[in-house]
Structure 1
Amino acid sequence: MGSGSVFPLSSVLLILTLGALLVAFFVNPACSTSRRALDLHDHHQTMQNGFKVTLKHIDSDKNLTKLERLQRRIKRGRKRLQRLSVLSTSSSDHNLGATSPIHAGKGEFLMKLSIGTPAETYNAILDTGSDLIWTQCKPCKDCYDQPSPIFDPKKSSTFSKLSCESEFCEALPSQTCTDNSCEYYYAYGDFSSTDGILATETFTFGDVSIPKIGFGCGKDNQGGGFNQGAGLVGLGRGTLSLVSQLKEPKFSYCLASVDDTKSSSTLLMGSVANLDNTTSKHADIKTTPLIKNPNPDQSTFYYLGLEGISVGNTRLPIKKDTFALGDDGNGGLIIDSGTTLTYIEEGAFDLLKTEFTSQIKLAETDATDTVGLDVCFKLPEDDGSGKVEVPKLVFHFKNADLELPAENYIIADTDVGVLCLAMGSASGMSVFGNYQQQNLLVYHDLVKETISFVPTKCDQL
């Protein structure tokens, strides 16, 4: 195999962030229900056939140029990286005395779902880096503007509060009890937050209805960034996430090309999330084990074992423990649908930048003010082929060497005349972002504790 990849200049790439999908829910202040009294068997029976949900990027309806979409996504991705850094720092400092951990939250993709009886439909942000499912609820003490009416618990016959003794309430990082109602408070790294009560409700995804889903009914919701939808759906590893509640052993998502604003991405849950469900008959499946973080404040994330990176035919001399997860829960690398680009530890990024620059046959240029990326080059005069050769890029995960197509790590803008590497540097935690996950079926098997990557035409699922 050669050391380079051909990148079509017609593909002016943009950035997706599946990190978060906003969700809306209905709540009706009926009776108080203990989580331990819930029939989880109902969940399994309802979910045995699984379901499929369409994901919509939060910028898909906006009239933006390619460069504007790119700039917005990079900016949001950097803000999310900052939140992750704050989370990592605060959770490792046991002297801070914080009453509530900071959560990553927010994201780039919206999913449509319905809540309550009768069912009401909402858009919600989906986030693989969060656990709590929540939506704004009436009566509001403080609620932000959202595209759909705010959920009114009084109008749903299937709403039920959760008691302080419930499993969900005990799973909260911080909670208080008033009149045996479980009150939660979730803070995010950008000073936004949601405050309300935990309850259960019927959620509907397409034709599949699932009763007794635990979620947060937010009465006091502060800060911006959530107004793309009516709340947030967590798909993390914790007890409160949608995946954990459904007792589903697997889920997958498939993100369409960033530059394709007309196609939708897909979330698959349960039995429909399998490795046979791909558009490639002879797909090259790469499977790597998941790693659990011993720190409970960061246990929601999906950590992978990254052992090295190759540029062209050169394996970078990255120290063996660069991406290792420490005994205190620091460091490591997570795969995240809500962060746009991939950000790796500074020393490793410097090695990558140097080697990539030495192999590509283009002149360096500064495009930080226009594109917002650190490693950029001048595009050559068009020779009629409409293509340029770039070094290949391989991520060496444990048991899985994942070679990315050029479209998953190169951003080119012919109007500006630049070609950039779609990666950046990070301090502490590294992140494998959604830009690098385009047209890959990312399959999470939570029984086998593995993640698999399968090349897939996501717009055809």
Structure 2
Amino acid sequence: MAHIFLSLAIVCLLFQLSAATGIRLQLTHVDAKLNLTKTELSRRAVERTRLRVASLSSSLAASTTASTGNVQAPLHWAQVSYQIDIAVGTPSIPLTVIADTGSDLVWMQCAPCQYCFRQPNDIYDPSKSNTFSKLECSSSLCQSLPSGNRNCDGTDCEYFYSYADKSYTTGLLASETFTFGSVLVPGVGFGCGRMNSLSNSDGSAGIVGLARGPLSLVSQLGAGKFSYCLTSFGESSSSPLLIGSLASLSGAAAQSTPLVQNPNPNMKSFYYLSLQGISVGTTLLPIPSSVFALNSDGSGGTIIDSGTTYTGLQHEAYEAVKQEFQSQVDLPVADGSRTGFDLCFSYPSGAPPGSIPKLVFHFDGADMEFPPRNYMIRYVDAGLLCLAMLETGGTSILGGFQQQNMHVLYDLSGNALSFAAAQCDQL
């Protein structure tokens, strides 16, 4: 195949297509096809969240250290919860890939593989596609890779991209025609991975990054905005992912808060929010503002992420929330170690519903009030009611469970995040 650049004409086409038509995809939870009980689903989600949080904490320390020297060590995630179905190439082949708001690169496994993990679909073979083209080192997408993540000894752009959980992909940066739902998009830049490792791939062929960097799908499309609406945890129904003109909120109840940019260049892909306080019931918790502050080295702050199932709070904030719930919930505390959560109450089957205090996250300019089903999980078989939150290191994460039946809009052009309650399976 001839070497070509991602031309200005293609970029304009991508922008016009996404702005005029919009793209609609369906997010499917990685556990949707498994015949698991609610307890089993929740336990898997707890383990997945802990792995994601642990990898963030360990890699963030390395990233903030690297940012003060000459080494570039961008941080990305791979432990995620949702997949999408796309098609790639001409003629196209169907692939199931991970949708990740915590990373940028769009990539998939490519034949012939030097080292590849197992996937349910056929591995994409660029030699069988009429629309595959390698990208040269001088292309803007290649140059957007940190110098430590690209090899430009020759004309072709060779890349290496790693994740916090030690997953990685390496191969050639290229362009190809992608089909998203009913929309065909030519010239999408992607990583054609010849050596790949993906922890807990759950039947995926690669990753579509939706983060803030230039390599992500939303950046390449020039869409300006995208949204999702996550259906209730444990349901088999899929959740809509909307890109471009289809991503809009309706109704007067929508609220907005600014998206915050991390000052550390190695953390610039993540979506940060300015969390200023938390209320439980009518009590505004006495949490110092410094607990949620985004520090000059890129540590701290609050990330919103659909791929992290359960919200994780910095230690001091988590302890304050846990103690306040324990104080306000009129139920005996019980051992919930089998669930993976720290705070559980005894709630036997047939017991009358107790009074659950409301939970509100106070962001800059917006209050996100959660319904009880978004932060309390009832395990009928175990007779338990548990607070569905976990403790993290210095960075807090607003997870997908807390975003159930909430339409969340990422307005990249306006640099804001908006949200409103919604019935996601009807959106």
TM-score (norm 2): 0.96
Q: What is the CA distance between 1:104 and its match in structure 2?
A: 1.3
Aligned equivalent of 1:382: 350
Aligned equivalent of 1:406: 372
In structure 1, what residue type is equivalent to 2:413? V
- Equivalent position to 1:445, from 411, 418, 423: 411
1:182-217 CA deviation, whole Å, 9 max, x = no partner?
111112222221111100001111211111100000
2: CA distance, partners of 1:392 / 1:405: 7
- Equivalent position to 1:51, from 13, 23, 26: 23
- Say which is worse superposed, 316-325 or 34-43, in terms of deviation: 34-43
In structure 2, what residue type is equivalent to 1:168? L
Tell me, yes or no, if the aligned pair for 1:145 and 1:227 is still in contact at 8 Å.
no
Aligned equivalent of 1:392: 358
Aligned equivalent of 2:287: 318
Aligned equivalent of 1:66: 38
2: CA distance, partners of 1:121 / 1:205: 10
Compared with structure 1, are the counterparts of its residues 159 and 38 closer, same or farther at alpha carbon in structure 2 (3 Å cutoff)?
farther
Tell me, yes or no, if the aligned pair for 1:249 and 1:446 is still in contact at 8 Å.
yes
Establish whether residue 218 from structure 1 lines up as the match of residue 190 from structure 2: no
2: CA distance, partners of 1:86 / 1:244: 28
In structure 1, what residue type is equivalent to 2:110? C
Aligned equivalent of 1:270: 244
In structure 1, what residue type is equivalent to 2:261? K
Q: What is the CA distance between 1:31 and its match in structure 2?
A: 1.4
Tell me, yes or no, if the aligned pair for 1:36 and 1:167 is still in contact at 8 Å.
no
Tell me, yes or no, if the aligned pair for 1:286 and 1:454 is still in contact at 8 Å.
yes
Aligned equivalent of 1:332: 301
Aligned equivalent of 2:145: 172
Aligned equivalent of 1:189: 164
**Aligned runs of 1:344-363 on 2, under 5 Å?**
344-363=313-332
Aligned equivalent of 2:97: 124
Q: Name the SS of the counterpart of 1:266 in structure 2.
A: strand
Compared with structure 1, are the counterparts of its residues 228 and 399 closer, same or farther at alpha carbon in structure 2 (3 Å cutoff)?
same
The size of the alignment, in residue pairs, is 423
Q: What is the CA distance between 1:227 and its match in structure 2?
A: 4.4
Aligned equivalent of 1:279: none
2: CA distance, partners of 1:441 / 1:299: 24
Establish whether residue 34 from structure 1 lines up as the match of residue 2 from structure 2: no
TM-score (norm 1): 0.89
Compared with structure 1, are the counterparts of its residues 287 and 182 closer, same or farther at alpha carbon in structure 2 (3 Å cutoff)?
same
Compared with structure 1, are the counterparts of its residues 286 and 430 closer, same or farther at alpha carbon in structure 2 (3 Å cutoff)?
same
Q: What is the CA distance between 1:225 and its match in structure 2?
A: 1.7
Aligned equivalent of 1:458: 424
1:242-268 CA deviation, whole Å, 9 max, x = no partner?
0000001110000000032x2111100
2: CA distance, partners of 1:145 / 1:431: 30
**Aligned runs of 1:71-82 on 2, under 5 Å?**
71-82=43-54
1:393-448 CA deviation, whole Å, 9 max, x = no partner?
00001110111000100011010111110111111111000000000000011111
**Aligned runs of 1:183-262 on 2, under 5 Å?**
183-260=158-235, 262=236
1:330-370 CA deviation, whole Å, 9 max, x = no partner?
110000011011111101111111111000001111212x1
1:264-315 CA deviation, whole Å, 9 max, x = no partner?
1110011110113xxxxx5521211100011111100110000000000000
Compared with structure 1, are the counterparts of its residues 187 and 97 closer, same or farther at alpha carbon in structure 2 (3 Å cutoff)?
farther
2: CA distance, partners of 1:187 / 1:98: 15
In structure 2, what residue type is equivalent to 1:249? G
Establish whether residue 298 from structure 1 lines up as the match of residue 267 from structure 2: yes
RMSD value, Cα: 1.5
Gaps (5+ residues) in structure 1? 1-29, 277-281
2: CA distance, partners of 1:449 / 1:222: 33
2: CA distance, partners of 1:252 / 1:73: 22
